[in-house]
């Protein structure tokens, strides 16, 4: 987890991911990953040529995940990755890092 902490990008925004692929930053970010109608807090590993989402074993209360989705106008019916909000960031700092 130390490697993740050193390369963690708290300011990562999903919408910037494809803006300029060749100039993208590399490192780690936390995202809300919605798949099959279920939101999960995931660690997003961004490399120069790709990215990968890994669900975390320890999950925040579902209400926190849903609130972050609602703030972005997202629904559980649409699979994808979404930004975390300040409340999730605080939860991660208290429970994961």
Instruction: Specify if 15 maps to a domain.
Output: yes
Number of domains the chain contains: 1
- Exposure letters 85-94 (e unless 16+ CB within 10 A, then b): bebbeebbee
Grouping H, G, I as helix, E, B as strand and the rest as coil, residue 52 is: strand
Give the model's pLDDT for residue 20: 67
Grouping H, G, I as helix, E, B as strand and the rest as coil, residue 59 is: coil
Give the model's pLDDT for residue 30: 98
Instruction: Specify if 96 maps to a domain.
Output: no
Give the model's pLDDT for residue 75: 85
Instruction: Specify if 97 maps to a domain.
Output: no
Give the model's pLDDT for residue 16: 79
Give the model's pLDDT for residue 43: 98
Contact assessment for residue 38 and residue 18, using Cβ atoms and an 8 Å cutoff = no
Give the model's pLDDT for residue 87: 98
| Of 14, 26, 8, residue with least CA distance to 80 | 14
Number of helices followed by number of strands (H, E) in the chain: 3, 4
Give the model's pLDDT for residue 3: 87
Mean pLDDT of each 10-residue bin along the chain, 97 residues long: 91 81 84 96 92 95 97 91 98 96
Q: What range defines the domain where residue 78 resides?
A: 2-87
Instruction: Specify if 92 maps to a domain.
Output: no
């Amino acid at each position: 987890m130390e490697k993740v902490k050193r390369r963690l990008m708290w300011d990562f925004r999903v919408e910037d991911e494809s803006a300029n692929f060749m100039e993208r930053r590399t490192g780690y970010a936390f995202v809300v990953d919605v798949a099959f109608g279920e939101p999960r807090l995931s660690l997003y590993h961004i490399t120069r040529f790709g990215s990968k989402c890994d669900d975390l074993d320890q999950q925040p209360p579902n209400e926190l995940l849903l609130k972050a989705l609602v703030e972005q106008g997202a629904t559980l019916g649409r699979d994808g990755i979404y930004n975390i909000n300040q409340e999730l960031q605080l939860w991660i700092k208290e429970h994961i890092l």
